Structure 1
Amino acid sequence: MKRLLPLIALVALSGCGLRPVYGGGSHGAVAQGLGHVEVLDIEGKSGWLMRNALNDRLSNLSNGNGPSYKLVVKLDDQISGFGLRSDAAITRERRTLRARYQLIDEATGAQVLDDTAGSDAGIDVTSSEYATIAAEDTALERLSQIVADQIVNRLALYATRKAAAQAPAPGGQ
């Protein structure tokens, strides 16, 4: 019976309509729909981290033969203090990274996607200024990875929906 349960679960999942987003590799809907995405330069240290994170994730799609796109990203990176001791010293900070991104079809110049992504992280402020700065930098690196994941997931969802909308109806009609 224990061996039968995973098999039943697989059969049930295949019938529910769930499909892997990256199914088909370079021949799948995401690679065919996005083909090649060029991430334009982004200002500042946070922009450099974000662009590298996005390029790392999007390099797998560059083998596709679909249309080419430009990805324009504008970042808002903020640090705010909110924990206070009795002597008014800050004990906690929140680093927030927000991205507004636009996907532009290079062939037509049309903006096909305009969305935002973001995340935040808490930082302990210590008596060591070096440790606090290191924690702020580590938070920025982690936030860049999280926000890049959100952006790439949204691009993959766009490509999947675009492919589904262009697919012929069942039965070839």
Structure 2
Amino acid sequence: MRTAPSFLRALMPAALIAALALPLSGCGLQPLYSGGSSAGVIQGLSAVDVPAIPGRGGWLVRNALNERLGKVGSEVSPAYRLDVRLDDSLEALGVLNDDTISRERRILRARYQLVDLSSGEILLDATEGFDAGIDVVSSEYATIAAEQYALENIAKEVADRMATRIALTLRSRAGETAPQ
């Protein structure tokens, strides 16, 4: 059995990647954050003000949003306001024969609106949510710790989804207002 010369074997991965990337060039995919820190989407995200959200879940979501929107350490004057209402609940899933709960579900839902401060127009009105399962154990402390840990994780997930949706909205808005 004959094998390809070593220089051809070295070029094969690059040729394969180029062949696979060629059809993608005409599909219209564009990087969301193209242009780096000077990109319109990045500047728009850092101009989103997130007012305080009530409760521990609200505090976690707001901090995660500010981090994802680039507000941490940023002194950009707000052009948008993000109004968020949270619904945080615990639901019993597994109930044993003696009526004790063996499993819970922590659910966090966020209803939010992105408001343009200059016009008062609502640019985005959406809902995001996520949930996590929790095992209820004999130690009450361990169960409470698991509930809090689940809230921290789902708050980050909800904030990620919200930030992505906001970025897409701002990108489409920038495309509408850009000169053609």
Task: Find the aligned partners of 1:100 and 1:106 in 2 and give their Cα distance.
Answer: 19
2:122 counterpart of 1:111: yes
1:84 maps onto 2:95 in alignment: yes
Describe the SS at the equivalent of 2:13: coil
Given the alignment of the two structures, is residue 147 of structure 1 paired with residue 167 of structure 2, yes or no?
no
| Alignment root-mean-square deviation, CA | 2.2
Give yes or no for contact 2:123–2:169 (8 Å, CA) kept in 1: no
**1:157 maps to 2:135:** no
Secondary structure of 1:71's aligned partner = strand
C-alpha distance in structure 2 between counterparts of 1:53 and 1:43, whole Å: 14
Count of paired positions: 169
Q: 1:166 aligns to what? A: 177
* Aligned equivalent of 1:3: 14
Structure whose alpha-carbon radius of gyration is higher: 2
In structure 1, the residue matched to 2:3 is none
TM-score by length of 2: 0.85
Maintained 8 Å contact 1:31/1:65: no
The Cα offsets for residues 23-47 of structure 1, whole Å up to 9 and x where unpaired, read as: 1123324125445011010001111
- 1:51 to 2:62 alignment: yes
Check 1:62–1:129 CA distance in 2 against 1; reply closer, same or farther (3 A cut): closer
- With the length of structure 1 as denominator, give the TM-score of the two structures: 0.89
Residue matched to 1:27? 38
Using the alignment, how far apart are the partners of 1:51 and 1:69 within structure 2?
15
Change in CA separation of 1:133 and 1:65 when aligned onto 2, cut-off 3 Å:
closer
1:97 to 75, 97, 108: 108
Amino acid at match of 1:20: P
**Cα distance in 1, alignment partners of residues 33 and 72 from structure 2:** 10
- Identity, % of aligned positions: 51
Bigger mean CA offset, 139-148 vs 103-112: 103-112
Query: Structure 1: how far apart are the matches of 2:145 and 2:45?
Result: 37
Q: Give, in angstroms, the shift of residue 108 of structure 1.
A: 1.7
The answer to whether the 8 Å contact 2:128/2:158 transfers is yes
Over 3 Å counting, the alpha-carbon distance change for 1:9 and 1:30 in structure 2 is same
Consecutive unaligned residues of structure 1, counting only runs of 5 or more, are none
Is the contact between residue 91 and residue 106 of structure 2 (CA under 8 Å) also seen in structure 1? yes
What is the CA-CA distance between 1:2 and the residue it aligns to?
A: 3.1
**What's the offset of the Cα at 1:61?**
9.8
Counterparts of 1:66 and 1:167, CA distance in 2: 21
> Tell me, what secondary structure is at the counterpart of 2:104?
strand
| Conserved 8 A contact 2:49-2:78 | no
For the residues of structure 1 that align with 2:159 and 2:82, how far apart are their CA atoms?
A: 12
